[in-house]
Amino acid sequence: MECVVSSVVAVLVVVHTVSMTHAADHSQVVAEADALRNSGWWIWRDPDTSNHCSWSGITCNEAKHVTGIRLRNYQEPIGEVSELNLSSLPSLNFLILSRMGLSGSISDQIGSLTKLTILDLSHNQLTDPIPHQIGSLTKLTHLDLFDNQLTGPIPHQIGSLTKLIHLDLSSNQLTDSLPHQIGTLTELTYLHVSSNELTGPIPSSLGRLTKLTHLDLSYNQLNGSIPHQIGTLIELTYLDLSWGELTGAMPSSLGCLTKLTSLDLSMNQINGSIPPEIGNLKDLVTLDLSNNLISGEIPSNLKILKRLWLLDLSYNRLSGNVPSFITNNCNQTTFDLSQNDDLEGHPGYSICTGGHATSLTLIISLPLTLFFVALILGFAFGLWWKKRQLQPESMPVKKRRGDLFSIWDYDGRIAFEDIILATEDFDIRYCIGVGGYGSVYRAQLPSGKVVAVKKLHRSEIDEPTYLRSFKNEVRMLEQIRHRNIVKLHGYCLHNRYMFLIYMYMERGSLYSMLSDEVEAVELDWVKRVNIFKNMAHALSYMHHDCIPPIIHRDISSNNILLDSKLEGFVSDFGTARLLDPDSSNQTLVVGTYGYIAPELACTMVVTEKCDVYSFGVVALETMIGKHPGELITSLSSSLCQDIMLRDVLDSRLSLPEDLQVAKDVVFVILLALKCIHSNPQSRPTMQQVSYKLLSNIPFPKSPFYAISLHELKNQEM
């Protein structure tokens, strides 16, 4: 009898335990459903069911625990990522919320998702530092935070994620040095941290990442020399260390990276000679060492690189004879040796079309000196194409892939199909604007890089005016190298497609931001003053540092583009022209109405002072928040004496309270008024404006609230 009682008690205990477990499990399921339901992200909800496991983007297991969230490309922002209670979703295996318009910071609760293997929050507007709790996600294989506004250092706890295969922190505002703990992530095959504000040396611990195939540290302020340990990364096919502050010589260990197809070390301060070991990289397709301090001779064993399509050694200090394989070989697409004054027999450049030019003319990075030779070739082939009426559909895709439609970029080779696929054959959904002679599209490439593609419409391709503008823009941007001028990565000229590929500007044009009531407030006085400085330095460079000088001729708020940090960039060089001091520079009136210098209507003579006037108009527009048309008219009348500075500044912003900010605002208005003087001879040069920004102009004697435009107009600079 005692045994029977004991057995009954045991059964009851088991039943009670199972019931408790089921109750707890049910409670957890309810909590997970509530976490989703209360997030406010209504896009998940199905009005026909309360079962959260059937909502769009939600994956559950048999026990109805949420194991995955996958949402992409939502058309409207859905709120802050903190609205989702992550601690209530402990079973999550993957969390993918790419292009969802998410804002705010990544919650510390992220550390509770210890089962997570994939975390993708790319292409949002996330801010603040990456929480150090991310180091708790030790099962992660894929971490993608690309294209946000994250700040602060990369947490060293990221070194705990030893199962990571893919890590992308590019296009943020991350600071400080690259943590040496990244060297513990020995399973990594893909590491991109480009387009940030990282400083310090490249840690030698990266040499432990022997499975890496892609390494991109470009567009940072990394300094010091390239560590010789980089030579241990023998699986690398893509290496980009461009646009940094690297010094020292290239390590000979680079020659160990025999699987490399793309090597970009451009825009640094690398010195020494080109190591002959580079000749070991027989799979190289693109080699860009431009804009450094490299000296010595060009190694003759580079002729071994039979697959090389682009060799850019421009803007260095190379000497000696140009090897015969460069002057005679026509298997390569482009050699650029320009701006190496000590080279003997220097051809400036060499463009070899080989057997591919019958279907496509593609020219990237051509020096201005022989650009017209390329134009002649282009026109000749254009006539041949027109006669043949050849269409891309008639050519097999396999033959076109990566060969006939290759476009050179800091990412290495961009295939023609990559552009077409990224824009879905230039679908209107990817269109972000319409320019003077084409539409602009946003394209994300397979490498993760985002570029802007300006495409001429079919009707415009056959129009000579647009064709001239297209070629003129390439001609101008090829020789311009300034941080506040939009970079041209390449272009394609074909009988069906003609487009240019630019650096992508996340925030669009200055005009569009000033026209938006919300975004205009984001452009505070400090940012507006900085944009003024960006424009001034860029135009000073064009007018005074380029030989011959370049006149833009269409400076307007639509042609000032802003990046994610709201830095200003001068764009759209379709109407630009070189200024010949020995000619009358007579021209047709081009430009945007409201920004054109008044003397052009009478004299038809273009000078750099025409750009100065347009710059002054844009400067005023930046500070008052709208085009200053009526204000400019008033300045030439007696009404000017009654116009107070405080009354014309953008009313959407509070008047500056900080004394230095107030001085800067006054300074900008003063310089802008000088630039729009009706007499071109009385306007300052852009160089003078640029220099003035580096000095101090006496603050007007009147207090800020009492300053009139008349007082500023007559104050000496």
Could you list the residues known to form a binding site for ATP, using ranges. Answer: 455
Q: With left for phi above 0 and alpha for psi between -120 and 50, is residue 71 left, alpha or beta?
A: beta
8 A C-beta contact, residue 84 and residue 37: no
| Annotated catalytic residue, options 554, 611, 650, 664 | 554
Taking the C-alpha atoms of residue 226 and residue 207, their distance in angstroms, rounded to an integer, is 11
Count Cβ atoms below 10 Å from residue 417 Cβ, excluding itself: 13
Task: Assess contact for 159 and 184: CB atoms under 8 A.
Answer: yes
Q: Is the dihedral of CA 454, 459, 462, 463 positive or negative?
A: negative
155 DSSP assignment: P
**How many whole angstroms separate alpha carbon 531 and alpha carbon 668?**
11
Number of Cα atoms under 13 Å in the Cβ half of residue 219: 18
**CA dist., res. 525 & res. 532, Å (int):** 11
Three-state secondary structure call for residue 388: helix
Strands of 178-298, DSSP E:
190-192, 199-201, 214-216, 221-224, 238-240, 245-246, 262-264, 286-288, 295-296
Strand partners, 240: 216, 264
CA-based R_g, the chain, Å: 30
Strand-pairing partners, residue 503, are 451
* Torsion 128-131-132-138 (CA) sign: negative
User: What is d(CA 666, CA 529) in angstroms, rounded to the nearest whole number?
Assistant: 10
Check if 647 is active-site: no
Active site residues: 554
